[in-house]
Chain A
């Protein structure tokens, strides 16, 4: 008899969740961040509705500061007839010239990501936004439901979450309210990489080590992806063999020196490393509960 592996069970659970969203929500959307978790989520969505097309659009909230290779990877999806890709940019933020260097990472993330996301959800009247967050990423995420309720103001109330029993998800909301849905909640980082390996899923090349121009700031290696990065006096970009463990806005994402140029080498490197995945992200460092606060305000 067929024996299911750990990954088979995680995959089946995620597909069940994706089908529940499609069947019970009026106007769902899948958040597409271009990262490896998004690649896995997209693959799961294709599987869930095969041989039919994915019955909801993808939405990328573009902060205008993503790596160029990420944008190229994203734009390649536009040729896929089964995928309806939407891109949203906070135009007010662009007009005000908001960016991580001029306004700092906190303001930039709030305006170009959190506010932009809320704008897009409100504008398209999406009642469900599917995201690739995992419970092993961060402590407040470990306590979030798979179907996570949001008020009409897109706020999360961690102390008043709907109990989630068995695999029954309460999908009922009032007009204006919405849910964020996290189909890969129970996956770990290692599960994601193993699945990418097993299913041969395409990911952005930035995850693989290559010679890239970087400068080192506050102990974080920042890639000089375009000429918007203001170089400090005496600072010159160095070519180093680096890769990225997570992807976001390039000035806020730290590179790690690496020789890993294949999925198996990445996994091998990951197993040997002693720091957690989010360490390269500036966003979590401010205060112990910073992710929880951002989530309450509507950040994914």
Chain B
């Protein structure tokens, strides 16, 4: 699964994403104060541990988060 809003971000390490308990490529994004935050770019779900439905649910949750963010910044943008 890939977070396409993070495309172009350099992969700095591959390690376990604690939130989804799966191996993930991670990059760093610096906020307004300059502080770097690790962010997952893409996740690798082993077929023997995750079902397709489970991963679809993660993808939908991610989509909902971005929809909510868009709503917050551009409420009139349909």
Instruction: Determine if chain A interacts with chain B.
Output: no
Q: Please give the residue numbers on chain B whose beta carbons come within 8 Å of chain A beta carbons, in ascending order.
A: none
Q: Please give the residue numbers on chain A whose beta carbons come within 8 Å of chain B beta carbons, in ascending order.
A: none
